[in-house]
Amino acid sequence: PFFLSVSTSLINPTRNGLPNRIDADNLNAWEEMIEIRLLSVTSLAFVGRVTWNGNRELLYCVSNQKATVDAVKALSGTRAFVFTCEFDEKWAKANYWLNR
C-alpha cells in the first residue's frame, strides 16, 4: 500500500484561494483523466481532495508504486503539478485525512 499525493496550483484563484469557475471545470477534467490513468495501472482508493491557499491536492492509496509513478510522470504537459508516492503500509498518511 502506497499513499499518493498529486498537487497543482490553481490558475487565477479567487481571493479566498479557491478555483474560479473556469479553473474548477478544468480541474475536474484533469482529475478525471488522472483517475482513469491510475485505474488502468493499479487498484486505488480515493482518500480525498484538498483545496486551499491557491492549491488543489488529490489523495489516493494505491497498490502498485512503480506503475503509479510511471503513469503520473506520463501526465507531464497536462498541467503543472508535483507528486509523492510513499510506502504507507498502516495507512498512517491516509488516516490523517480519513479520521479527523
> Which tens digits make up the pLDDT trace of 23-33?
999 999 999 99
3-state SS class at 12: coil
- pTM (2 d.p.): 0.91
CA 26 centroid distance within chain: 14
pLDDT at res. 57? 96
Per the prediction, the chain carries an average pLDDT of 93
pLDDT at res. 94? 86
Residue whose grid cell is 483545496: 51
Residue 95: pLDDT band with limits 50, 70, 90: confident
Residue 99 has pLDDT above 90, yes or no: no
